[in-house]
Structure 1
Amino acid sequence: MSAASDEPALPVLEAPADGVPPVVVTQQQLDATVAALSAGTGPIAIDTERAHGFRYSARAYLIQLRREGAGTFLVDPIAFGSPDAPADLSGLAAALAADEWVLHAATQDLPCLAEVGMLPSKLFDTELAARLVGMPRVALGTLIEEAFGLRLRKEHSAADWSRRPLPEEWLNYAALDVELLIDLRDWLAEKLHVAGKTEWATQEFAHLVDRAGIIPPPRPDPWRRTSGLHAVRSSRGLAVVRELWRVRDELASGMDRAPGKILPDRAISGLAARLNAAEVKQLGPSDLSAIPEFAWRAPSRYRARWLAALDRVATLTRDQLPVKALPAEGPPPPRAWETRNPVAAARWDAVRPAVLELAEQLVVPVENLISPDALRRVLWQPPVPLTAETVDAALAADLVRPWQRELVVPVIVRHSTAA
């Protein structure tokens, strides 16, 4: 038996201290929630539950809030919206606009909060704070264990939160996610202060607030993210993936159902990898049924749609087929620099180890010191002349924060010049 297994198990946080509150589903309950939270003091802990893997949308199906002097509230945003329009909870957001919101892994929650009109004016991200102070593991449950010697149950983290009514044990789980979030925020804030990293965190949190309501542009050719695509070698096979993906996406969007529940990725890429151009033209219903995933109950309902998609692929001319790879945006991977840009490769070989060393000295993950993309861009095509001022301006244009630039720019300039 290992030494670790001899350690006593941590006590489990079984239920909120004040019990599980009723779910807020009426305007009267929402008004009371707004009044109670407004009367509370200090930061507001916020979390959301989504139905990733079950639904097409990434909307919030439950919003948890907790504040000192007010207690915990579980708001059902679906009760205040419709299938075609998300809820408008901007009134709740307005009541909390001047206060700090505390979230864990805010980039996961902010998009679905923004969808219902909830945008913070300032926040504290406990996951990001833990990264900045060099915590080796930053999951919420792990941090709760480290800070308070208590264990959170996580058995409902991947549940279908679009289910109604929500089971009582799920609501208990949801309430516990914000039970100690404010205490965790205070624990991490002290660690940031001791480490001299409070200003780093302040700038990072402000950056998250600035970007919270910005919807990123759609990815070009999103079907290229189909898992297993690497096994598809021909342009005709890529067209099969593209067409089947589009049909599946249309079905999934219309039903608000996760695409993988309609047809798994491995069925799309697996079929495309097996077929050549002639086989696409000859494929019939019996052939499709012979592929295991297409014979499953859900995919088999849409057999005519899949076959119609393959018929369209069979009629495509060569110039209508997708290219095997999209033109790269930004610099190529550094492993290709030696042949394509030897000077940049030498710069990378000199600067990258120095940045890694600096991150280790500062006890911060290197990706939090500077984003990999920003570092690649400035080293692939540095400003001319290459000075501290020009590098600083280039990184600022790439949204690298002031604290990061203060630390990284001297390293880039010194080692680029020596390369």
Structure 2
Amino acid sequence: MQKKNNVTNPAAAHLVTDQKTLDELVERLSRESVLAFDLEADSLHHYTEKVCLIQVSSTSEDRLIDPLAPIDVKVLAPIFANPAIKKIFHGADYDMRSLYRDFGIEVVNLFDTMIASQFLGESEFGLAALLKKRFGVELDKRYQKADWSKRPFSQEMLDYAMKDTSLLIELYRQLEAELKQKGRLAWVEEESELVAGVRSPSREGELMCLRFKGASKMKPRELAVLEELLRFRDEKARLADVPPFRILSNDLLRELAEKQPRNNFELVGIHTMSSKLIERLGRGLLQAVANGLAVPQDKLPQVHSGRRPVLDRLQDERVKRLKVWREAKSAQLGLGIGLVANNTLLEALAEPGSQNITLLKRWQREAFGDELASLIS
């Protein structure tokens, strides 16, 4: 393997900001059999999040691509779609959503090193922990929450970004060899393939309060008030170009929805409402509360509790037996119980007369499908 000159000195990595350089890079990358990628975004700093940096490493070079420069990032699409090139990501779920959302890019032949480490039974599977354990490399956490939309980049930010992919191919090779030894490589490839197809769901026409954490415990009238408060916060965030949580916290919105203040005096009574916040947003908040209180009774939002359906006695007993089996299988395989089988799957398998063994993934059928089929028959 050709050794990269800049693995030990990420500061030497080149930042790609023009189309000619990008086109030349794409031509070189197209000849590779394995590439490592990572993305940096600005979701903590702007209302509409976007990809602000694309890191890519081959066995011979590390590069940083600036998608905010006047370049066409979509020239990378054929590389991502090429099944002959293995694409290495760590914790790829967010990256898959972002690449498709911003550029319409789909990824074929993905290998997720976070999933791989989980299937090897690693107790810590974050990238920083893995790089420290396997290579003695420390990642500087100062830039994890940085605003990557700002230009120019500091040299320290470039160094940080490059470390995310400079050792990812070597990490992949170590994990792949260990997975082959355990007979689990196909398991990780299947899970990675599923992650590659993940897309952000459309929220069009959906009430915002229905996806608010803790909504299932709130009363319908409180939900109506909460919906108006969320709309108010969202509009303020859009105008200020900041994430909604920077306008008002979820905890404060929940308290406002429950206490439903009608005037400034009642706003002052909410201990987390500062005088500055009341001066800046008080009128709008009171109007939002009033709008929620004015929603007719038959138009109040209804949210499902999210609780699992009550099981009949037979099914409940079968679920308990399956959970005992799962604990033992988890210990035997050295995998987290959630990887072996989640509760939704166990409840489906526990249905009397169930043929839901077909719900198992290929690797689950291979690893314990016959055992499960015998257990539930």
TM-score normalised to structure 1 length: 0.79
Give 2:348's match in structure 1, choosing from 377, 392, 395. 377
Q: Tell me the amino acid that sits aligned with residue 368 of structure 1.
A: L
- Give secondary structure in 1 for the equivalent of 2:88: strand
Q: Tell me the amino acid that sits aligned with residue 392 of structure 1.
A: I
Q: Tell me the amino acid that sits aligned with residue 79 of structure 1.
A: A
Gaps of 5+ in 2: 1-5
Q: Which residue does the alignment assign to 1:34?
A: 26
The structural deviation recorded for 1:66 is: 0.8
Residue 52 (1) aligns with residue 63 (2): no
The structural deviation recorded for 1:248 is: 1.4
Residue 157 (1) aligns with residue 144 (2): yes
The structural deviation recorded for 1:370 is: 2.7
Give 2:234's match in structure 1, choosing from 229, 241, 249. 249
Over 3 Å counting, the alpha-carbon distance change for 1:192 and 1:322 in structure 2 is same
The structural deviation recorded for 1:353 is: 1.2
Q: Tell me the amino acid that sits aligned with residue 105 of structure 2.
A: M
Q: Say whether the 8 Å CA contact 1:101–1:122 is kept in structure 2.
A: yes
Alignment of 1:78-97 (within 5 A): 78-80=68-70, 89-97=73-81
Give 1:347's match in structure 2, choosing from 318, 321, 337. 318
Runs of 4+ in 1 over 6 A off after TM superposition: none
Over 3 Å counting, the alpha-carbon distance change for 1:273 and 1:147 in structure 2 is same
Q: Which residue does the alignment assign to 1:24?
A: 16
Over 3 Å counting, the alpha-carbon distance change for 1:297 and 1:123 in structure 2 is farther
Q: Which residue does the alignment assign to 2:3?
A: none
Over 3 Å counting, the alpha-carbon distance change for 1:301 and 1:31 in structure 2 is farther
Over 3 Å counting, the alpha-carbon distance change for 1:315 and 1:222 in structure 2 is closer
* C-alpha separation in 2, matches of 1:201 and 1:184: 14
- Give secondary structure in 2 for the equivalent of 1:68: coil
Task: Report the aligned-residue RMSD.
Answer: 2.8
Deviating more after overlay: 365-374 vs 349-358:
365-374
* C-alpha separation in 1, matches of 2:327 and 2:347: 14
Which whole-Å deviations, capped at 9, do the CAs of 1:290-315 have from their partners, x for residues lacking one? 54544475775343332221221232
* C-alpha separation in 1, matches of 2:275 and 2:53: 32
Q: Which residue does the alignment assign to 1:269?
A: 254
Over 3 Å counting, the alpha-carbon distance change for 1:228 and 1:351 in structure 2 is closer
Q: Number of residue pairs matched? A: 368
Q: Say whether the 8 Å CA contact 2:118–2:335 is kept in structure 1.
A: yes
Q: Which residue does the alignment assign to 1:402?
A: 362
Q: Percent identity?
A: 26
* C-alpha separation in 2, matches of 1:117 and 1:240: 37
The structural deviation recorded for 1:19 is: 2.6
- Give secondary structure in 2 for the equivalent of 1:54: coil
- Give secondary structure in 2 for the equivalent of 1:316: coil
Over 3 Å counting, the alpha-carbon distance change for 1:266 and 1:142 in structure 2 is same
Which whole-Å deviations, capped at 9, do the CAs of 1:366-395 have from their partners, x for residues lacking one? 22223433333332x35x4x4xxx3333x0
* C-alpha separation in 2, matches of 1:161 and 1:300: 32
- Give secondary structure in 2 for the equivalent of 1:77: coil
Give 1:303's match in structure 2, choosing from 277, 282, 286. 282
Residue 113 (1) aligns with residue 99 (2): yes
Q: Say whether the 8 Å CA contact 1:61–1:78 is kept in structure 2.
A: yes
Q: Tell me the amino acid that sits aligned with residue 111 of structure 1.
A: R
Over 3 Å counting, the alpha-carbon distance change for 1:92 and 1:363 in structure 2 is same
Q: Which residue does the alignment assign to 1:102?
A: 88
Alignment of 1:281-360 (within 5 A): 283-288=262-267, 291=270, 293-295=272-274, 300-323=279-302, 325-326=303-304, 328=306, 332-333=307-308, 337=310, 340-360=311-331
* C-alpha separation in 1, matches of 2:279 and 2:212: 20
- Give secondary structure in 2 for the equivalent of 1:79: coil
Over 3 Å counting, the alpha-carbon distance change for 1:307 and 1:26 in structure 2 is farther
Q: Tell me the amino acid that sits aligned with residue 409 of structure 1.
A: G
* C-alpha separation in 2, matches of 1:371 and 1:90: 37
Q: Which residue does the alignment assign to 2:153?
A: 166
Q: Tell me the amino acid that sits aligned with residue 60 of structure 1.
A: V
Q: Which residue does the alignment assign to 2:64?
A: 74
Give 2:176's match in structure 1, choosing from 172, 183, 189. 189
The structural deviation recorded for 1:318 is: 1.8
Q: Which residue does the alignment assign to 1:239?
A: 224
TM-score normalised to structure 2 length: 0.87
Residue 61 (1) aligns with residue 26 (2): no
Give 2:335's match in structure 1, choosing from 364, 373, 397. 364
Over 3 Å counting, the alpha-carbon distance change for 1:374 and 1:139 in structure 2 is same
